[in-house]
Amino acid sequence: MVAFAGWSLPVQYRDSHTDSHLHTRQHCSLFDVSHMLQTKIFGSDRVKLMESLVVGDIAELRPNQGTLSLFTNEAGGILDDLIVTNTSEGHLYVVSNAGCWEKDLALMQDKVRELQNQGRDVGLEVLDNALLALQGPTAAQVLQASVADDLKKLPFMTSAVMEVFGVSGCRVTRCGYTGEDGVEISVPAAEAVHLATALLKNPEVKLAGLAARDSLRLEAGLCLYGNDIDEHTTPVEGSLSWTLGKRRRAAMDFPGAKVIVPQLKGKVQRRRVGLMCEGAPMRAHSPILNMEGTKIGTVTSGCPSPSLKKNVAMGYVPCEYSRPGTMLLVELPSGPCF
C-alpha cells in the first residue's frame, strides 16, 4: 500500500506486477479507482459551464455519451484530463484525477458561482460513490452475467444506469485506462465491497493495483497527469489535438484557444512521442539524445513492457525528431539505450 492524494492505495495484491498486467490483457482485472473525483453538474446551463472550462464539444454529446477532455488555462496549459458524460438524467457526470481533486473542484465551483451570479441555472454536487474498473477482454462477458441490460448495446464511451449484482443505481460506463475493453462502475459507497466480492467470485477476475495500472496505460500510450502532461504542456504538444472539438476550434472559445489553435496549423517546439528500446528500462527524467549525443528531450514515463517483452516509454522531443521510426538514444545510469 502507498499514500496517494490523501488515500491509501494498493500497488499490487498477491500476484506479481507482471502476472497481474498479463492477466488484464488476457482475462480481466478489477481496479479500485474510488479515489477519483466524481462530480455531477446540473441545471439548464450545465453545458455552458463545462464548455467554459474544457476544450471538447460537450453540446454535441448524445444522451449517455462521454468524451475524454482537458481543463486548460489561458496560457494553453493542461490543468487536468477528465471524462465528461452527458447523462440522459439531465446532468453531466464528470470523472477527474484524485491528484488534482482540490484544484479541479475549486475550478468548477468558482465557475458555478460566477455563472450563478449572472443569473444562470447551474449547480454542482460531489458524488460520494465508489468507482470500480473492470478491465480486460472478458470484462463485458463477466459483467453481463450480473446485469439485465444487453452490454452489446453499450459501445465505447457510453454509459447507462443499471442494477449490478442486485445493487441498484450503478452507473456503468464502457471505458477505462488500460487499452483494453472494460467498464467503470460508479456504485454507492456502502455497496462497493458487496459488488467487488461478487465480481471476484468469477475465476476470470483478479484484483490489480497501481503498478499494473501504470504499465497497462503506458503500453497503450495513455498519459499520466503530472508526468506526461501538466500545466506547462499544451494539448498539441501532448499529442492530444484530437480532444479539441471542431466547433470549439472554429469558435476559439475555450481557455487558452489563442495559444492552442495556432499550434494546430503552425509548428510546436516539441511533441510527446512513444519510445521502445532493448536492454535496461527507460525511466522518467532520463535524458533523450539525438544520434550525435546532444540532449534533445526528456523521458516522462517508462517501464519494461510485460506484453511486448521490450522497454517502453514516452517523452518529449523537438518536432523534427517526432516521426515514427526515428532512431534516438536515451541516457541511462548503465549507459545509452537505443
- Give Cα 196 distance to the centre of its chain: 22
User: The C-alpha cell of 318 is what?
Assistant: 523537438
CA distance 120 to 122: 6
**Helix orientation angle between 210-219 and 17-26, rounded to the nearest 10 degrees:** 60
Helices (H) and strands (E) in the chain, counts: 8, 19
CA distance 192 to 127: 14
Count CA atoms closer than 13 A to 60's CA, side-chain side: 9
Check if the beta carbon of residue 263 is closer than 8 Å to that of residue 236.
yes
Number of neighbours of residue 293 by Cβ within 10 angstroms = 9
- At residue 203, φ and ψ (nearest 5 deg) are -60, -15
CA distances from 176 to 6, 139, 148, 157 (A): 22, 11, 22, 9
**3-state helix, strand and coil shares in percent for the chain, rounded to the nearest 5:** 25, 35, 40
CA distance 194 to 285: 41
Q: Does 184 belong to an annotated binding site? A: yes
Check if the beta carbon of residue 271 is closer than 8 Å to that of residue 319.
yes
Q: Is 77 helix (H, G, I), strand (E, B) or coil?
A: coil
Sequence ranges of the binding site: 184
Sequence ranges of the binding site for substrate: 184
